[in-house]
Amino acid sequence: DTGVSQNPRHKITKRGQNVTFRCDPISEHNRLYWYRQTLGQGPEFLTYFQNEAQLEKSRLLSDRFSAERPKGSFSTLEIQRTEQGDSAMYLCASSSTPGQSSYEQYFGPGTRLTVT
């Protein structure tokens, strides 16, 4: 198992452009999470999927953000009409269905977005 992978690792875009990030979770994990981390802060929850169903979205996730997990495997996070305030590290994590003996989210390396 190679862990959670994210692509691209870095993305520089101009304000107003659309960007899409991809996350490949650990293969047997049915839960997938997206977080955003800005400089000097801890990660903030954005949304999560159980299989292909998006079960929760944070109020941080504006209408310009959309996430999908069409076949319950990989996920994409799209940001439309990017703004400078979107500059951050976008982290993906995956887990099996939580249970007391195994609850852990495994994080990917993140995609660093810079909006100029």
Partner 1 sequence: AQSVTQLDSQVPVFEEAPVELRCNYSSSVSVYLFWYVQYPNQGLQLLLKYLSGSTLVKGINGFEAEFNKSQTSFHLRKPSVHISDTAEYFCAVSPGYSSASKIIFGSGTRLSIRP
Contacts to partner 1 by CB under 8 A: 4, 31, 33, 40-45, 48, 55-56, 58, 91, 93, 97-101, 103-110
CB nearer to partner 1: give 18 or 41. 41
Please state, in angstroms and rounded to a whole number, the distance separating the CA atoms of residues 24 and 22.
7
β-strands 10-13, 111-115 pairing: parallel
Min dist. Cβ of residue 1 to partner 1 (A): 15
Q: Are 15 and 86 in contact (CB under 8 A)?
A: no
CB nearer to partner 1: give 19 or 90. 90
Min dist. Cβ of residue 16 to partner 1 (A): 29
Q: Are 21 and 11 in contact (CB under 8 A)?
A: yes
Local structure of 96: helix, strand or coil? coil
Please state, in angstroms and rounded to a whole number, the distance separating the CA atoms of residues 74 and 5.
10
Min dist. Cβ of residue 81 to partner 1 (A): 26
CB nearer to partner 1: give 23 or 115. 23
CB nearer to partner 1: give 93 or 115. 93
